[in-house]
Amino acid sequence: MADWLHALGDGLGIILEWHRMALLWGGVLCGLALGILPGIGGVAGTALLLPFTYNMDPAAAMALLLGLAATTTHGDPISAIVLGAPGHAASAATALDGYPMTKRGEGARALGAAYMSALMGGLFGAVLMAVSLPLVRPLILFIGSPELLALAVFGISMVSVLSGNAPLRGLTAACFGMMLAMIGSDPQTGTLRWTMDSLYLWEGLPLVPLTLGVFALPELCDLLVGRTAVVQSEKMENNWHGLWLGTKDCFTHWWLNIRCAWIGSVIGAIPGISAAVIDWISYGHALKTEKGAQLTFGKGDVRGVIAAESATCSREGGALIPTIVFGVPGSAGMAILLGAFLMHGLVPGPDMLTKNLSITYSMVWSIAIANILGSGLCYIFSSQFAKLASLRYSLILPVVLCLVYIGGFEGKRQWGDLYSLLFFGVFAWGMKHFKWPRPPLVLGFILGGILERYMFISIQRYGVSWMMRPIVVVLFFMSLMSLLRPFLQDVKAHGGIRGMLSDFHAPKLRWQQAFPAFMLLIFITMMAEAMQWNFYAKIIPMIVGGGAILFCSLSLLNDLFKGETHKARSLEAAAKGEVEGKIHMDIASNITDMPPMTIFLRGVIFFGWMVFFLISMAAIGLIPTVPLFIVLFMRIEGKEPWKITAPMAIIMYFFIYLLFDKLLDVPWPGSFLGDVWPLWKTWVPSA
């Protein structure tokens, strides 16, 4: 123990040397900048900084890279809270309560809670890493593919919580997300599944355009439909007072913060489980355990922000553990960091816990100090971030949409990313206005591929005996209870099965039933194609697709045969707190009082602008499209004067050109002008 304490002190001394602290500062600044930009993320930033570490000593290199990795998530919640448009999957759960807080003038409070919970979560992750390094090796060796499969199933069971008052709709959306995750070449047989003869889909759908389409575009569309700011300036609270309230909230709910940070650290330490699911599991845990959360989460409860952010920001400490102990990266960013280890002569394994123990603990200190610096900088600039919510929509939308397009293109850097972004934007906007919860769709997509992969590995390696392993049995039981909970609550609320059946009456057609009918048609079409595949390629898709058809059919029948009496009773019970979990688990729309035809037409206008952006990109390229789009949108849609329009277009052009084209060297999609211009120069030598 004395050796470990001595190494801990040596690690602090190493990181506090001025040149390493300067590099840590640089990494923190890069991490915050990349966190704010939609879709870019820490993986791209870590890869960008890696070549600059060649001539550094190992501790200095780790300070730079971990400074970036630890603080990217600090910038994530800014757009999620202020605009309801999460730039990354890791901040999607934050938007569920952060954005409603902004709309009622409490954006600064939500930001304050996010920063402090991020700081507390990050520090907890670093402390847990420091304490658990000597003990974690036997625990991680015990976890195999059956345990990872059971954990994925438990994550899927969170849809019962994230579905709110529509469990059948939530289960349907989760199954659809799992089916989307299975698009591409089957890893077992090589069968191409639901690729529609598109080369882009052979390797599956990327997460980034799907997340931006599902969560960012519907909120931006509603901003244009409402044609107003996110919040009126007179409703906004004093920014510094709001930050203080948010900070105070974190200490008031300190036990929630600690629990969720523990969840984030532990799940982050498990290789193969996507970091994008951590915030959803933590959010679901808070929804099930916090008093009164079933009636307030999703409507602007600060506890929802705390739960999501503390878990998200604690994961880096956990993800670093298997990277150091076994050389198995716990996340994509850690995979790049593993390359940095080897590049600097650091061999993961026993050496990192013996002769290089001081360097290992310098990494712990790097994560802890980076979290302090990142949160401090966010606090300093929060007052300016909060003011963005009071700007006119015509000033916010063109800039954010340009960044969303660039972020969506980071999926595979192909045209398919942009088509996926647009498709899921339209689809999710429909989900939002037809009252279908969106979180289960993303959760199913994230965990679908993991579940299928580990199920095949478990069956091939253990047969059926894997189902009897203790951790697997416990997790499966918890998953079953979680999935059955909404049904049991309904039975209890209606006084038994007979009471539930008494609500049914003659069928009544409504226009809202068009959406589940459309979903059912999609599932039947996908299942018809799956019938022709190899047995091993279709077994999991058929099971999931069968569940999707069952849940969607039941949801449609429920809408057909249950009337307003049932809805009124459900609302009354929810208001009295008699039935837990009976809320609409999604970001509520603030344009529901507008005529449906007006909402539809303005929605068409919004997505028309999106299509125009794509056409312009195909014609002249992305970078020239940015100033053109900003000018046309601000002049036509917002009637903004040239003195505002022109500077904004010029600033955005040079910002994107210098950062993405020159610094990040992004390979932009091809364009007609780009193809023709070289030919033009050969025809006209003087050109």
How far is CA 677 from its chain centroid? 39
* pLDDT tops 60 at residue 270: yes
pTM across the whole model: 0.76
Summarize pLDDT for 468-525 with one digit per residue, the tens. 888 888 888 888 887 777 667 666 665 665 655 556 566 677 777 888 899 999 999 9
Whole-number pLDDT of residue 83: 74
Average pLDDT, the chain: 78
Structure confidence at residue 572 (pLDDT): 47
Residue 683, pLDDT score: 47
DSSP letter at 562 equals B
- Give pLDDT, residue 313: 79
Percent of the chain with pLDDT over 70: 79
Is the predicted pLDDT of residue 381 greater than 80, yes or no?
no
In the predicted structure, residue 147 carries a pLDDT above the cut 70: yes
3 state DSSP class of 594: coil
Of how many residues is the chain composed?
687
Give phi and psi for 144, each to the nearest 5. Answer: -120, -170
Is the pLDDT confidence value at 583 over 60? no
Q: What percent of the chain has pLDDT over 90?
A: 7
CB contact at 8 A, 117 and 68: no
The residue extents of the domains of the chain are 2-228+238-391+400-576, 596-683
pLDDT for 206-235, tens place per residue?
887 888 888 788 888 888 888 776 555 545
Of 250-254, 340-344, 441-445, which gets the smallest average pLDDT?
340-344
CA distances from 270 to 78, 163, 315, 534 (A): 28, 26, 10, 32
> pLDDT band at residue 590, thresholds of 50, 70 and 90?
low
323-358 confidence digits (pLDDT tens): 777 666 656 667 677 777 777 777 776 677 777 788
Gap between the Cα atoms of 215 and 227, Å rounded: 19
Predicted confidence (pLDDT) at residue 585 exceeds the cutoff of 70: no
For residue 264, name the pLDDT band (cuts at 50, 70, 90).
Answer: confident
Q: What is the CA radius of gyration of the chain?
A: 25
- Region 663-673 average pLDDT: 75
Host H or E run for residue 550: helix 535-561
The residue type at 39: G
d(CA 189, CA 454): 15
634, 394 contact by CB (below 8 A): yes
Determine the pLDDT at residue 180. 92
- Would you call 182 helix, strand, or coil by DSSP? coil
Does the pLDDT value for residue 319 go beyond 80? no
Which one is predicted more confidently, 446 or 632? Answer: 632
Q: Half-sphere exposure of 492 toward its Cβ, with a 13 Å CA cutoff?
A: 10
Burial class of residue 33 (count of CB atoms within 10 Å of its CB; 0-12, 13-18, 19+): middle
Which residue, among 96, 660, 185, 79, has the nearest Cα to 449 in the 3D structure? 185
CB 38 within 8 A of CB 75: no
- Residue 231, phi then psi, degrees to nearest 5: -145, 140
The answer to whether the beta carbons of residues 94 and 382 sit under 8 Å apart is no
pLDDT at 310 over 80: yes
Contacts of 616 (CB under 8 A, 6+ apart): 624, 625, 628, 629
pLDDT category, 647, cuts 50, 70, 90? very high
Measured torsion, CA atoms of residues 175, 181, 187, 188, in degrees rounded to the nearest 10: 10
- Pull the structure tokens for residue 205: 């759908």
- The DSSP code for 577 is T
Q: Give the span between the Cα atoms of 159 and 178, in whole angstroms.
A: 12
Burial label for 655, CB within 10 Å (0-12, 13-18, 19+), is middle
- Alpha-carbon distance 104 to 301, whole Å? 12
Q: Give the contacts of 136 (CB within 8 A, at least 6 positions apart).
A: 269, 321, 325
pLDDT band at 604 (very low <50, low <70, confident <90, very high): very high
Q: What is the pLDDT of residue 397?
A: 85
